[in-house]
Chain A
Amino acid sequence: MQSLRFMAVAGAIALALGTGANDAHARGVVAGTSINNTATVDYTVGSVTSTVSSNQSSVLVAEILDVEVTVQTATVAVTPGATQKMLSYRVTNIGNGPEAFLLVINDAIAGDQFDPVASATAIYLDSDASGAFNSGDAPYVAGSNDPLLSPDGFTTVFVFNDIPATVVDNNIGRSNLTATARTGSGAAGTVFAGQGEAGTDAVVGTSTATSVDQGEYKVEGIAITANKTQTVVDQYSGARPIPGARINYSIAVNATGSGTATAAVFSDNIPAGTTYLPGTLSLNGTALSDGSDTDAGAFEATSPPRVRVQLGDLLATSGTKTITFAVTINNQ
């Protein structure tokens, strides 16, 4: 199947994704480790040389409590009254001992236009460690299944909120997830005597043993549909899809609903096994040049190659935008 994509580039900047390489890393030697130092001395008395060892001087490594939360989802487009809209976060133990973390949602964030409402079951843990939410993931119950993470370990947490019915287009609603070390939190350097790994002390690190990050919903009432049709014309005035035959594509793009899809861009990959036919790109009957220039369309020699047409701001009243282009079927 050929791929068909349209993009509505929202005016608001999407949140930076926290995915990819995990920047957080556990600081240092594991709690409970004994750091040992033994020195030796060589000396001579008369003609006799001796070597003597010192005692073993040791210090014990205490546990640092440190955590980092990073949101994994960019701004989530929602419609008024939608339910169970998901945000996902990564919670990482950046301390040096195993630790369990309490998770708390806060939907009452100042500075946005609406408060998301926590769904009936608002937090799920990534029980199968897949990074994606699926039916095997367990609901989170504070105090009962607080995620236990080893140093450098992380888990994905899924948060579900409902969207109030009264919101309007472009409204933003924010939701925070906070993770706090169960052993304790507070000013960096706070000591919880004997509560660290292997009976060492637990010391709050520079994260204050609690971390929060924010997810965001944006109300977008506009929905865009694209319907694609094709006709095949071969070199012999038939309609057989043989090498050398031409396929004419026509795509009708329509916007329905409320609001605006700002600076919409239509993009369609040239199907594998075919070659774009130069000079065939058009929008609503007006030919567009293949090159990237001041008109709305271009053929791009990307991998795979594609045609792109700027459609501008689309509203329900914008009418149908029809894009056409043609390809020829390659010799096999």
Chain B
Amino acid sequence: MKTGIKNFIGAAALSACSFGSPAFAQTKDCVVLKASAEVEQEVVNAKGEKSTTLAPVNKVVPGDTVVWTITANNVCTKPSDNVTINNPVPEHMAYVANSAMGAGSDITYSVDGKTFGTTDQLTVSENGATRKARADEYKHIRWVFKNSLQPGASAFARFRAVLN
């Protein structure tokens, strides 16, 4: 039957194609980013020695300090290069000076979200004069990791902010 042969040819033609070509493939995200909030708690051991640990936040009141931690995890089989984490300082919070940390990264800040610089570079205009920006005026933090993130590895960024 004519119809049957046509179908047969059609099916053969179908199987010759491959749907896995790179031009149309969906790549999954190689870096999974997680953000979490904690507070510092003071603990005293049996000897009376004090130390601090991080504990989950249940509630905050104005004046409290929150420790924000961002973790970037490479879930692919190839390295991720040029890894940069950006975190806007949450609304109603003020960045705590010198609290940003991230091993293997260069950290810069921004007041306006466009210009990033170190603490010595950032300025603001006030009453027509220019002065150094204060930590509580930083609105964005950026961590530029110097080395590639290897498959399965994680990079960490952390900072503290006080609730207004």
Contacts and interface: CB of A to CB of B under 8 A. Distances in A.
Interface string B88-131: 10111100000000000000000000000000000000000000
B86 interface: yes
Contacts of B36: 57
Nearest to B81: A44
B93 A35 contact: yes
Interface string A200-222: 11010100000000000000000
B81 A55 contact: no
A282 to B, nearest CB: 55
B35 A37 contact: yes
Interface string A25-56: 00111000101111111111110111011111
B164 A29 contact: yes
- Secondary structure at the B interface, as helix, strand, loop or mixed, is strand
B61 interface: yes
Contact of B163 (A29, A53, A203, A205): A29
Given A45-B76, A57-B37, A39 B86 contact: yes
Contacts of B84: 41-43
A96 interface: yes
A64 interface: yes
A41 B81 contact: no
A43 B30 contact: yes
Interface in B13-38: 27, 29-37
A15 interface: no
B77 to A, nearest CB: 10
Interface string A49-73: 1101111111111111000000000
A54 B35 contact: yes
B135 interface: no
Interface in B55-105: 57-63, 66, 68, 70, 72, 76, 78-88, 90-93
B63 A45 contact: no
Contacts of B68: 37, 57
Given A28-B163, A33-B92, A38-B35, A43 B62 contact: no
B90 A35 contact: yes
Residue of A36, A40, A41 ringed by the most chain B CB atoms within 10 A: A41
A96 B83 contact: no
Given A27-B63, A37-B37, A57-B37, A43 B70 contact: no
Contacts of A38: 35, 88
A39 B163 contact: no
A54 B92 CA distance: 20
A40 B61 contact: no
Nearest to A29: B92
Nearest to B72: A41
Interface string B132-144: 0000000000000
A44 B82 contact: yes
B163 A45 contact: no
Nearest to B58: A201
Contacts of A64: 61-62
A54 B34 contact: yes
Nearest to A205: B61
Contact of B29 (A35, A52, A62): A52
A183 B138 CA distance: 37
A40 B86 contact: yes
Contacts of B149: 43
A61 B163 contact: yes
Contacts of A96: 61-62
Given A57-B36, A59-B66, A45 B81 contact: yes
A46 B63 contact: no
Q: Which of A48, A52, A55, A59 has the most CB of B within 10 A?
A: A59
29 contacts: A28-B62, A28-B164, A29-B163, A33-B92, A35-B92, A38-B35, A39-B70, A40-B33, A40-B87, A41-B72, A42-B84, A42-B86, A43-B84, A43-B149, A44-B81, A44-B82, A45-B76, A45-B81, A48-B27, A52-B29, A53-B33, A54-B70, A55-B33, A56-B35, A57-B68, A62-B61, A96-B61, A96-B62, A201-B59
For the complex of A and B, list the 9 residue pairs with the smallest distance between their C-beta atoms, beginning with the closest: A28-B62, A54-B33, A62-B59, A57-B35, A54-B35, A43-B80, A39-B87, A29-B92, A39-B70
